[in-house]
Amino acid sequence: MSSEQDFKLIGELLPNSLRDFGVEKKLDETRAIQAWNALFGDTMKKYVNKIYVKNAVLYLEITSSLLKQNLLFQKDLFVAKINQSVGSSVLKDIYFI
């Protein structure tokens, strides 16, 4: 067996192993947070105290109530963009707290 075939086999096994060990979901959640940061960058960082994913919901603790209200109107668009960036339906909703 050649090393090229070995790499192909490992490449096929790795996604299944990640899924089996429950790591894939956590990786997707981390990618969702990274996607949010990539979409909004430094502009939003100064207004976000906490960001995390729990039960397919992205939670963002926003310091500005006016900004929080404006973000609410576009949260479905944000969910779609983040899921598209991650490549899977990792998020179902965003809560601005």
> What's the CATH number where 34 sits?
3.30.300
Listed range (4-8, 36-40, 50-54, 56-60) with the worst mean pLDDT: 4-8
The string over 72-87, giving b where at least 16 C-beta atoms fall within 10 Å of a residue's C-beta and e elsewhere, is eeebeebbebbbeebe
Mean pLDDT of the chain: 86
Report the pLDDT value the prediction gives residue 20, as an integer from 0 to 100: 63
pLDDT for res 25: 81
- Over the Cα atoms of the chain, what is R_g? 17
Q: How many domains does the chain have?
A: 1
Segments forming the whole domain that contains residue 76: 3-96
Q: How confident is the model at residue 56 (pLDDT cuts 50, 70, 90)?
A: very high
